[in-house]
Amino acid sequence: MILDQYRMNWNYPTSMRVGVGRVSELAEACRQLGMRAPLLCTDPGLAALPMIDAALRQCRDAGLNAGLFSAIKGNPTGANVTDGVAAFKAGGHDGVIAFGGGSALDAGKAIALMVGQDRPLWDFEDIGDNASRVNVAGMAPVVAVPTTAGTGSEVGRASVITDDAAHVKRIIFHARMLPALVILDPELTVGLPANITAATGMDALSHSLEAFCSPLFHPMAEGIALEGMRLVQQYLPRAVAQGADVEARLQMLVASSMGATAFQRGLGAMHALAHPLGALYDAHHGLLNAVLMPYVLVANRGAIEPQMEKMARYLALPGSGFNAVLDWVLALRSEVGIPHSLSEIGIDDARIEQVGRMAEVDPSAGTNPISFSAMQYSALLEEALRGML
Ligand SMILES: [Zn+2]
């Protein structure tokens, strides 16, 4: 299937080449950014697959001195980034191909940042004006090639990196971390198992949904969030049920990029809880958000009724307002096989207070429509653990 109608070059939020088979333009994309020796950063699971072999071969056939770095964990760590920087320098590389799911994209973007800095990674955590410390001229260019549809990190200006020593996820931010060129090729995602398709797709939904509920004035992001959610509504069940449905896969890649574009308006309590839970339990980020979603909606109900009314109308849901959205989220979640409670995905009740305290100060908490205290976050977590809705 070629699906010519979806073959497009877009110019916002960055240069994006969209369409079936467009990974064949990878080497040319590297050249366009001035690379002669790209370092392809991916995770160990993907590194063993033919698609990485093919990408490296394509680059080498085009005369590029391409290298491979794949020592990246599911939740990438500061040490992963340091190792990647060492590989970049040892191989004489001049650019990064960030190729994979959220972890590989985030690690690749952080490596490209850090190859030109004298300060340690945590000095660039997204706090105050830390970003002004970045030596922009030293940053390496990045081509981003997502192989999952969820994080949207290919159009994000930050990387989430786990600080192993402190057991927290830190957001590393600079506006120029937005990859200069993105390739959205749905054929790279057709092999994803249904459960990963579901969890990552629900992450994309959580980005649009939390951005849509953010109290900040940003109508542009609001519009993108609405259509991003509609694409998930229409295409996620198809992508999960029939992994080889290239049209559904392509639309989910777009929905994922849209979610990450929308969340320049901010995220909320789903992510404020998912970040500490991911750091403490090494649980899947998208799956955490998917399980947490209805509990957070209920907790936010008093502040989001007008938004839920708009959303229910745009998605043409049966019924109206908050209940229509909640019913849809619960039905979608069960249709794509997401468990109902956090206890079903290996989270225990040993650290409810600690997670509550971490959620309260998580950067995502700042744009939740209601400002929850640590105790309120703990109570919310307890409901999600026990499945109390
Ligand atoms: Zn997320």
pLDDT of residue 72 exceeding 80: yes
Task: Provide the b/e sequence for 68-104 (b: ≥16 CB within 10 Å).
Answer: bbbebebbbbbbbbebbbebbeebebbbbbbbbbbbb
Q: Which residue has the higher pLDDT, 165 or 198?
A: 198
307 alpha carbon – ligand 1 mean position (Å)? 20
Distance 80 CA to ligand 1 centre (A): 20
Q: Among 190, 376, 216, which residue's Cα sits nearest to residue 298?
A: 376
pLDDT category of residue 75 using cuts at 50, 70 and 90? confident
* Contact indicator for 100, 43 with CB cutoff of 8 Å: yes
User: From the centroid of its chain, how far is CA 320?
Assistant: 30
Instruction: Identify the pLDDT of residue 169.
Output: 84
Task: Tell me, in angstroms, the distance from the centre of ligand 1 to residue 45's CA.
Answer: 21
Residue 174 scores a pLDDT above 90: yes
The predicted structure's pLDDT at residue 329: 98
pLDDT for the residue 1: 60
* Beta strand spans in 83-238 (E): 95-100, 142-146, 158-163, 168-173, 181-184
Q: How far is the CA of 28 from the centre of ligand 1 (A)?
A: 31
Distance (angstroms) between ligand 1 centre and the Cα of 68 equals: 26
Considering only residues 282 and 265, tell me which one the structure prediction assigns the higher pLDDT.
265
Residue type for 57, please?
R
Residue 257, class by beta-carbon neighbours within 10 Å (0-12 exposed, 13-18 middle, 19+ buried)? buried
- Determine the distance separating the centroid of ligand 1 and the alpha carbon of 93, expressed in angstroms: 30
Residue 63 has pLDDT above 70, yes or no: yes
Lookup result for tokens 């120029």: 176
**Cα of 284 to ligand 1 centre, how many Å?**
10
**Cβ(338)–Cβ(202) under 8 Å?**
yes
For residue 260, the CA-to-ligand 1 centroid distance in Å is 8
Helix (H, G, I), strand (E, B) or coil at 185: coil
- Measured at the CA of 357, the angle between CA 354 and CA 361, to 5 degrees, comes to 140
What is d(CA 366, CA 177) in angstroms, rounded to the nearest whole number? 22
| Distance (Å) from CA 167 to ligand 1 centroid | 18
Query: Sign of dihedral through CA atoms 84, 89, 95, 97?
Result: negative
Cα 92 to the chain's mean position, in Å? 29
Structure confidence at residue 254 (pLDDT): 98
Q: What's the gap in Å between 149 CA and the centre of ligand 1?
A: 11
pLDDT tens-digit profile of 1-36? 678 999 999 999 999 999 999 999 999 999 999 999
Whether the pLDDT of residue 279 is over 90: the answer is: no
Tell me how far CA of residue 225 lies from CA of 66, 205, 222, 375, in angstroms: 37, 9, 5, 30
Band of residue 191 on the pLDDT scale cut at 50, 70, 90: very high
CA distances from 2 to 54, 254, 271 (A): 20, 17, 36
Q: Which of 299, 275, 260, 239 is nearest to 361 (CA)?
A: 275
Q: How far is the CA of 290 from the centre of ligand 1 (A)?
A: 10
Q: What is the largest CA-CA distance in the chain?
A: 60
Residue 101: what pLDDT? 94
In terms of DSSP bridges, do strands 168-173 and 67-69 run parallel, antiparallel, or are they unpaired? unpaired
Ligand 1 centre from 206 Cα, in Å?
A: 7
Ligand 1 center–CA 117 separation, angstroms: 27
> What are the tens digits of pLDDT across the range 224-277?
999 999 999 999 999 999 999 999 999 999 999 999 999 999 999 999 999 999
How far, in Å, is the centroid of ligand 1 from the Cα of 136? 26
- pTM of the entire structure? 0.96
Cα gap 375→378, rounded to integer Å: 5
Residues 332-388 have pLDDT tens digits of 999 999 999 999 999 999 999 999 999 999 999 999 999 999 999 999 999 999 999
Residue 60 Cα to ligand 1 middle (Å)? 34
- Copy the structure tokens of residue 242: 């029939």
Residues 6+ apart with CB under 8 A from 298: 326, 389
CA of 81 to the centre of ligand 1 (A): 20
| Cβ count near 305 (within 10 Å) | 11
**Alpha-carbon torsion, ordered 21, 27, 30, 31, to 10 deg:** -130
pLDDT score recorded for residue 21 = 97
Going from the Cα of 154 to the center of ligand 1, the distance in angstroms, rounded, reads 13
- Ligand 1 centroid to Cα of residue 121, in Å, is 21
Q: What is the pLDDT of residues 93-149, one digit of tens each?
A: 999 999 999 999 999 999 999 999 999 999 999 999 999 999 999 999 999 999 999
Average pLDDT of the chain is 96
The secondary structure of 197-239 as a DSSP string is: HHHHHHHHHHHHHHHHH--S--HHHHHHHHHHHHHHHHHHHHH
Centre of ligand 1 to C-alpha 32, Å, is: 30
47 sits in which H/E element: helix 44-47
Peptide bond into 120 cis (omega under 30): no
- Calculate how far, in angstroms, residue 306's C-alpha sits from the geometric centre of ligand 1: 24
